A and B are shown apart, each in its own frame.
Chain A
Amino acid sequence: DTGVSQNPRHKITKRGQNVTFRCDPISEHNRLYWYRQTLGQGPEFLTYFQNEAQLEKSRLLSDRFSAERPKGSFSTLEIQRTEQGDSAMYLCASSSPGPRNTEAFFGQGTRLTVV
C-alpha cells in the first residue's frame, strides 16, 4: 500500500500521560499536514511541513503539542500531559508541490481517547 500510513490506529491513554503518533506520507510528497477531527465536526488544520521545515502552526496547537519531521519523510505528533479535550481523531495528509488545487491524500487517522 503506497498511501499515507498512520500509527497507531487507536490510542487510549490516561489523563496527564504523553502520547506520540506517527505519520508516513506518500514517498514523493514533500508537503505534510496534521488535522484534528472531533465528533460531528470537519477536520481542523493543526500544522504544516514542507520537507523538514514546519512552516505553519494553528492557534489550536497549544504548547502541549509538538510536531516534527526530522528528515523530511515521516512525521510525529506528540501531545504532552493529555487532557480529556484532546480526545479526537488525528489525521495526517500529504501532497506534492503544486498550486492551490493540488489534491491532498489522507491517512486513516489515529483515534485518541483520553480517560
Chain B
Amino acid sequence: AQSVTQLDSHVSVSEGTPVLLRCNYSSSYSPSLFWYVQHPNKGLQLLLKYTSAATLVKGINGFEAEFKKSETSFHLTKPSAHMSDAAEYFCVVSDGSTSGTYKYIFGTGTRLKVLA
C-alpha cells in the first residue's frame, strides 16, 4: 500500500515570501502524486499532478512541485505567497485497489496561513 506524509500541519508565511509545503511518499513502484487545495466552504481543487513525464511540475496559481525519487519527496513551493493562498493543502497518492482501479490516499493536510 502507498502512503503520503505531510511533515507540517501548519505553516505561516508573510505575504510576498516563498512557500514550502513538505510531502514525503511511500511507494513500492513509481507513484502518481497530486497536490490539492481546499479553501473554506469550497471543494477540493487540483493544483498539480506528477505524471512521470517531468520531475518539476508546474501547477495553477504559480505553484510547482518537484518529484525527488532519491528523497521520496514531492514538496510544493511558490516563490511569493499571496493572501488568497491561505487554505488547507493536501498531498495525495493514487493507490491501486482490489477493484483494479485507483483511489486517492490523502495526507493529513497542511494549513497555510499568510500574514499581511
- A interface, CB within 8 angstroms of B: 3-4, 31, 33, 35, 40-45, 48, 50, 55-56, 91, 93, 99-109
A-B contact count (CB 8 A): 70
Q: Given A42-B90, A101-B32, A101-B51, are A56 and B103 neighbors across the interface (CB < 8 Å)? A: yes
Q: What is the minimal beta-carbon distance from B21 to any residue of chain A, in angstroms?
A: 13
Indicate whether B70 reaches chain A with its CB closer than 8 angstroms: no
Q: How large is the interface on B (under 10, 10 to 19, 20 to 34, 35 or more residues)?
A: 20 to 34
Where the two chains meet, the residues of B that have a C-beta atom closer than 8 Å to any C-beta of A are 9, 32, 34, 36, 41-46, 49-51, 90, 94, 96-109
**A56/B99 in contact, CB under 8 A:** yes
Interface-central residue, B41, B90, B100, B101, by most chain A CB under 10 Å? B101
The reply to whether B99 and A50 form a contact with Cβ atoms under 8 Å apart is yes
Which residue of chain B has the shortest Cβ distance to A109 in the bound complex?
B43
A/B interface sample: 22 pairs, CB < 8 A: A35-B106, A40-B108, A41-B109, A42-B108, A45-B103, A48-B99, A50-B101, A55-B99, A55-B100, A56-B99, A56-B101, A56-B103, A99-B32, A100-B102, A101-B32, A103-B46, A103-B49, A106-B36, A106-B44, A107-B43, A108-B42, A108-B43
